[in-house]
Amino acid sequence: MQKTTLLFLYKPKEQKILLAMKKRSFGKGKWNGVGGKLNDKETIKEALARETQEEINVVVNQNDLTQVATLDFSFKDNPEWDQQSHVFFTEKWNGDPTESEEMNPKWYSIDSLPFENMWIDDVHWLPLVLEGKKLNASFLFNETGSEIIDMKIKEI
């Protein structure tokens, strides 16, 4: 299963989280964290740092990244979309998030997240990690990702 990364900039005292609107390719039109695929010989944290700089022009230190979840996504009859996403939060970064050709970042209050414009699984796990829980979860979607066929969420 292909490994991918996902990072959320988080301001716990302000109860705000940064989401970014995907502007092209896989996930276009959805709010999400930043991240993506690993390049050859790249670690998960190296990929997160690179993707964050590319997508929202923010620099993160790998030592400031805290893993909050590992999510396995499988798509019925569409295995090329299957992936294991390593989800991290960070409360420290350099620079102000700015729009790129791939992502348009925006701060959201954690009590008013736009779940209707996010991946359908997000409502099941993101509130839990925002409560401070660490998770392993798996989601089986239909071939387009528009329905969850099965899910398992386990606190670790």
Residue 155 is predicted with a pLDDT of 97
CATH number of domain containing 31: 3.90.79.10
Helix (H) or strand (E) holding 17: strand 16-22
Closest by CA position to 134, among listed 64, 49, 66, 74 = 66
- Report the DSSP beta bridge partners of residue 73: 83, 139
Is 126 within 8 Å of 114 (Cβ atoms)?
no
Residue 25 is predicted with a pLDDT of 84
Number of domains forming the structure of the chain: 1
Is 151 within 8 Å of 83 (Cβ atoms)?
no
**How confident is the model over 126-145, as pLDDT tens digits?**
999 999 999 999 999 998 88
Structural domain that includes position 34:
2-155
- CB neighbours (10 Å) of residue 148? 14
Q: Global pTM?
A: 0.95
**How confident is the model over 2-52, as pLDDT tens digits?**
999 999 999 999 999 999 999 988 889 999 999 999 999 999 999 999 999
Is 126 within 8 Å of 146 (Cβ atoms)?
no
